[in-house]
Amino acid sequence: MSKKWRKRLVKFLIFDLSLIIILLSTGLIYQQISSSQDEKTFTPPGKLYEVHGDKMHLYTGGEGDVTVVLASGWGTADPYVDYYPLYEKLAPDTKFAVYDRFGYGYSDRTDKKRDVDTVADELHELLQVSGQKPPYVLVAHSLGSLETLRFAQKYPDLVKGIVMIDGGNPEFYATGQDNLADTIGGFANQFRIKTGLFRLSMQVPAVVDASNANRNELKLVPEDLRKVDKTALLLNYGNANTIDELRETQRNAKTVIANKHPLSVPLTILTADYFGKPEPDWVKTQSEFKSWSTLSKQITVKDTEHYIHQYHPDIVADEILQIVKK
């Protein structure tokens, strides 16, 4: 290669490198400025309470002698929005409390490990410091099943009953080999988040619709709350606490299993039919989930995806209220 062409090649490489640096810098600035603006408008609808040295969010409503405690599944960026169709059904008949684990919704992020005992103890302290009164009917969606069962194991005298909304059987999670934590927490995905590429993609309506596909596209949620949900996702997606939850899933499931004894309170297991296309392993372990209580029942809810409460909140509310009124 001649010196002339070598110089041209060097110039091209310098130009390309400069362009990459400019684009990366622009993306980083876009992400930081946009996140700062979102944080100013992302105000808690409930109250923040100090729990283990950090602030934890709790949204309550309704009235009654029993409190329905709603635990979200993994990756549900804003439980307050996600559970809207359900607590609107519950409010006329009972008190409810939606809480945000650390790293979710309006709660702080914490440096404490997301092991199931810590998470259950945080919920216990939150309910105490916020003045909630037992008995509690615990409602859990998806991975929220683990902290809910562990809470019932540690504080059985406080629990009146449990409802699982397509909540996972601990035996299912204990044998899983999902590498989702490596994907969400990996370099490529974190690069998307920090450089604003993820935020930019969420400006495309089709992408937003796809992200809400298994939540019935949030059709039962008011438009203003859909915007709040999107903001929560942009602020919370891929943070260290949510990734640590995934990494701890198998270990947490084994902790719950190690302390297994049939509960003496009602356990209702609501299983999604996934519009006729469920995974066989999930179906099998959902049926086996009944062994976790001496007073259990399982109901398969038709025409639903994983977020059953976004499709048929009336069915979910009816099952919860049956336990509340016992």
Tokens of 257: 């299993």
- The residue ranking higher by pLDDT, 167 or 11, is 167
CA–CA distance, 112 with 122 (Å, rounded to integer): 11
Mean pLDDT of the chain: 90
| 3-60 pLDDT, tens digit each | 554 554 444 455 445 545 555 566 666 677 777 787 888 899 999 999 999 999 999 9
Coil, helix or strand at residue 166: coil
Distance CA 209, CA 207 (A): 5
How many other β-carbons are positioned within 10 Å of the β-carbon of residue 101? 25
Check residue 104 and report its DSSP letter.
Answer: S
**Pairing outcome for strands 263-272 and 293-301:** parallel
- pLDDT above 90 covers a percentage of the chain that reads 75
pLDDT computed for residue 147 by the predictor: 98
Q: How far apart are CA 114 and CA 107, in angstroms?
A: 14
What proportion of the chain, given as a percentage, has pLDDT over 70? 90
Question: Which pLDDT score is estimated for 25?
Answer: 61
DSSP element (H, E) containing 45: none
pLDDT confidence band for 320 (50 / 70 / 90) = very high
CA–CA distance, 98 with 247 (Å, rounded to integer)? 24
Phi first, then psi: what are they for 68, rounded to 5°? -90, 115
Query: Distance between CA 15 and CA 8 in Å, rounded?
Result: 10
pLDDT in tens, 63-106: 999 999 999 999 999 999 999 999 999 999 999 999 999 999 99
Task: Identify which has the larger pLDDT, 195 or 216.
Answer: 216
Of 116-130, 185-199, 217-231, the one with minimum mean pLDDT is 185-199
Closest to 116 in 3D by CA, of 254, 286, 243: 254
> Phi and psi for 293 in degrees, rounded to 5?
-150, 150
What are the φ and ψ backbone dihedral angles of 141, each rounded to 5 degrees? -105, 135
User: How are strands ordered across the β-sheet holding 293-301?
Assistant: 47-51, 54-61, 95-99, 67-71, 136-141, 159-165, 263-272, 293-301
Q: Which residue has the higher pLDDT, 203 or 61?
A: 61
Check residue 197 and give its pLDDT. 80
For residue 78, the model assigns a pLDDT of 97
The predicted structure's pLDDT at residue 3: 54
DSSP annotation of 290 reads G
